[in-house]
Structure 1
Amino acid sequence: MFAKRLKQLRIKNKKTQEEMSNMLGITRQGYGKYENGKAEPDHETLDKIANYFGVSTDYLLGRTDSPNPDISIVYDGGPKYEDEDEREFIEQQLEQYRKMKKRMQARLEQDKKD
């Protein structure tokens, strides 16, 4: 799973094996072994790769399908509410946040024009 996810992330981020090997401080051949499943990185290198791509080491290793633990709620089918009042409150807060975000984006766009 690690080899597959590593290659997918590299391609998605438009990086070459050479660029990745330079970032990690290893040879291109050494990096190629990671993508071919012939070698696995040590813990320090694994952390470096995860931080570089902004994903968890658990995702790289195939322990979870959530690339980022901070957004795992999306992958778990959404939040679990205690009751209907809690759900309604959270949805109201989210709606307020979205409105505020739109206003801020509009303000930033206007500032760019001025």
Structure 2
Amino acid sequence: MLGKRIAKLRRNKNLTQEELAKELDITRSSLSQYEVNKRQPDYDTLKKIAKYFNVSIDYLLTGNEFTNSPDEMWKEFLDPKTQIFFKDLQDAPEEKIEELIRFWEFIQERDKDK
């Protein structure tokens, strides 16, 4: 999980939460909540963490060291408005997802003429 990866990276550099929080310009409390997965960092903070530890956002979020998706993709995915949509979609049955795709295609087709 994201929090465990952040904590591991921090410990590997022998940093306290206070020291890392200062480097990232966030509160120690926020960092602590990230590490125990009570909160998720926003895109900008995630980017700071990735840059500080010289890892990709992909690694922080997925644990996969060998992929490197464009940061813009993560920016869109982590947008609070988009997150609500994707969070609900994760648990949706396949037929609901297919219905949603058809509905979205309908909206796109309808808006072509505008």
Q: Deviations over 1:27-68 (max 9, x none)?
A: 11111000010011111110110010010000000152x178
**TM norm structure 2:** 0.55
Percent identical residues: 46
Gaps of 5+ in 2: 69-114
RMSD (Å), alpha carbons: 1.7
Task: Tell me how many residue pairs correspond in the alignment.
Answer: 68
In structure 1, the residue matched to 2:12 is 12
Aligned mates of 2:50, 2:17 — CA distance in 1: 16
2:39 aligned with 1:39? yes
- 1:68 & 1:13 partners in 2: Cα distance? 23
Unpaired segments of 5 or more residues in structure 1?
A: 70-114
User: 2 CA distance for matches of 1:53 and 1:68?
Assistant: 16
Larger RCO (alpha carbons 8 Å, 6+ apart): 2
Q: CA offsets, 1:65-99, max 9 Å, x none?
A: x1785xxxxxxxxxxxxxxxxxxxxxxxxxxxxxx
Look at both structures and tell me which one has the larger radius of gyration over its CA atoms.
1
Structure 1 consecutive aligned stretches of length 4 or more whose deviation exceeds 6 Å: none
